[in-house]
Structure 1
Amino acid sequence: MKIAAIDIGSNAARMQISSVLTNKKTISFKKVEYVRFALRLGMDVFNSGKISSGSEARIKKLLQAYQLLMELHEVDAYMICATSAMREAENGDSIVERIKNELGMEIHLIEGEKEAELINNVIVVVLQNDKTYLHIDVGGGSTELNIYKGQQKIAAKSFKIGSVRLLEHKEAPDVWKKMQAWVKENVPTHVEVTAVGTGGNISKLFNMIENKKDNKATLKDVEKMRNYIEKFSLEDRINKLQLNADRADVIVPASDIYLSVMKWAGAIEIIVPDLGLKDGILLLVYETLMNEE
């Protein structure tokens, strides 16, 4: 069986096709295809409030390409989720309707809370029962914060601040203060808190850190790498550091969110699992298929 997940974010759209592997009662997903394309919808929406006709045309072309790949791989089921930029766009609903009519592909506009829930469903596997965690997921348009006691979520909040929104200076002036106040109010102060970071920017930054242990890095490691990247011009980040163009300009703003939240929470370490929204969508697709049988 093959299933697919498509995540249309504020910065990029991703598709992952995975084979479902079963070993006795254990289910796992093996990646067989992964495609990422920088749509940059957030630049449209956070500046004008809507998605341009040019961007709509690119969404359709990309989904047609994804559709062909899924046909070639003989995918049994898939799901498309769109997050901050498309759900905030004035014309988001009408674009979703046109795509359904023209391509037969249904896009689900999900709220920040649903986005966090899908990610959390796969994140819990890396959490230990005797520890406290602060999960930080930074996208192009929003940041989801979730507090866990072991594998039990005890608090969650979505904020309209993300890498593309910061790059375009379209974040609300008081959003930093609101986020800090929420962290101070909800994160336990009497126990050690470990951060868990998801999102393309923290994954890339984490991979650039040398001498890290397993899937964990220190606050100092992250800050040092963030400052190192900032010293390079945009051109040098692309040519010398070999960052994608749509990663090179947002990785520092995104890092500032992770670092700020960690400092407010008193977290000195961050775990960066290779998991994200696409993995949560895959799990939902599989569970939906199983419930239909």
Structure 2
Amino acid sequence: MKFAAIDIGSNGARMQISSVLHDEDNIRFKKVEYVRFPLRLGHDVFTEGRISSYSEDRMMKLMLTYQLLMELHEIDDHMACATSAMREAENGHEVRDRIEGRTGIHIQIIDGQKEAELVNNVVVKSLDDGQYLHIDVGGGSTELNLYLDKKKMNARSFKLGSVRLLEGKESKGAWKKMQEWIMDNVDRSRPIQAVGTGGNINKLFDLSSKLTESSTSLEEIARTHQYIADFTLEERIHKLQLNPDRADVILPAGDIYLSAMKWAGVETIHVPDVGLKDGILQVLYERACRRKKK
């Protein structure tokens, strides 16, 4: 079986095509194609409230490209999900319908709760027993999820994101609300670790010194964040070789991760390199299994 997962975020859109590998009782997804493009829909939506005709045209071309790639790979099924920017755009559903009419790709505009659920389904597999704060920072929103012994205890979505902060359009009082939620929900009598998902924490982790293959410390993330901040935007692109759409958002995203970790009293963060696309692939596999049983 071969599936395509499409994630249309506020900063970039990505498609991953993966084949399913069976290993005894376990299944694994092997990546066979991955295409990411910096649509930056959040720039339009968080400043003007709607998706511009220019951005819609670029999005249409990208979805046509994805459509062709899915045909070439002869996939069995696909799912496309759009998050914060599309759900807040006053013309989000109109744009979605026009794209579907031309490409045949149905885009589900999902809320923060559904977004968190899809990511959590794959994140939980990387957890051990204990208390974890899962921090997922996107372009338009941040999802926080609190786990105890692999069971989700609470969750909340906040209108804080890397593109939203870059544009100076964060929701009023969002920082305070996030701090209060953490202070109210974290059990201070128990040790806590963080789990970070999102492209920016992956890049911060790549540039940092590791404690293990998939973890590092709050101190090291803070050091790496400051190291990047000491470069100009142009230097981040040319000397650190960050993509332009990563170079400008990595610092505001880092502020969110660091603030959440400090408020929770976290000293260690795990970065499993999974995200919404991985949750979508899991849903597609489960859907295919249900169809086979019928």
Q: What's the TM-score once normalised by structure 1's chain length?
A: 0.98
Aligned mates of 2:172, 2:226 — CA distance in 1 = 24
Partner of 1:245: 244
Partner of 2:278: 279
- Report deviation, 1:71: 1.0
- Report deviation, 1:181: 0.3
Partner of 1:66: 66
Indicate whether 1:37 and 2:37 are aligned: yes
Deviations 1:164-193 (A, max 9, x none): 000000002311000000000001110111
Deviations 1:102-128 (A, max 9, x none): 111100000000000000000011111
Amino acid at match of 1:65: T
Aligned mates of 1:173, 1:59 — CA distance in 2 = 29
- Report deviation, 1:99: 1.3
In the TM superposition, 1:166-181 aligns within 5 A as 166-181=165-180
Taking only the aligned residue pairs, the percentage that are identical comes to 60
Partner SS for 2:266: coil
Partner SS for 1:191: coil
Partner of 1:20: 20
Deviations 1:135-183 (A, max 9, x none): 0000000000000002100000000010000000000231100000000
Contact in 1 for aligned 2:210/2:216 (Cα 8 Å): no
Deviations 1:243-277 (A, max 9, x none): 00000000000000000000000001100001000
Aligned mates of 1:170, 1:290 — CA distance in 2 = 43
Partner of 1:55: 55
Amino acid at match of 1:38: P
Indicate whether 1:198 and 2:197 are aligned: yes
Partner of 1:152: 151
Indicate whether 1:227 and 2:226 are aligned: yes
Partner of 1:137: 136
Aligned mates of 2:62, 2:14 — CA distance in 1 = 10
Aligned mates of 1:78, 1:52 — CA distance in 2 = 26
Amino acid at match of 2:9: G
Structure 1 window deviating more from structure 2 (171-180 vs 84-93): it is: 171-180
Q: Aligned-pair RMSD on alpha carbons?
A: 0.7
- Report deviation, 1:72: 1.1
The ranges of structure 1 where at least 4 consecutive aligned residues each deviate by more than 3 angstroms after the TM superposition are: none
Deviations 1:5-46 (A, max 9, x none): 000000000000001011222111001111110000000000
Contact in 1 for aligned 2:86/2:92 (Cα 8 Å): yes
Aligned mates of 1:211, 1:287 — CA distance in 2 = 34
Partner SS for 2:114: helix
Partner SS for 1:147: strand
Mind listing any 5+ residue stretches in structure 2 that lack a counterpart? Answer: none
Indicate whether 1:128 and 2:123 are aligned: no
Amino acid at match of 2:171: A
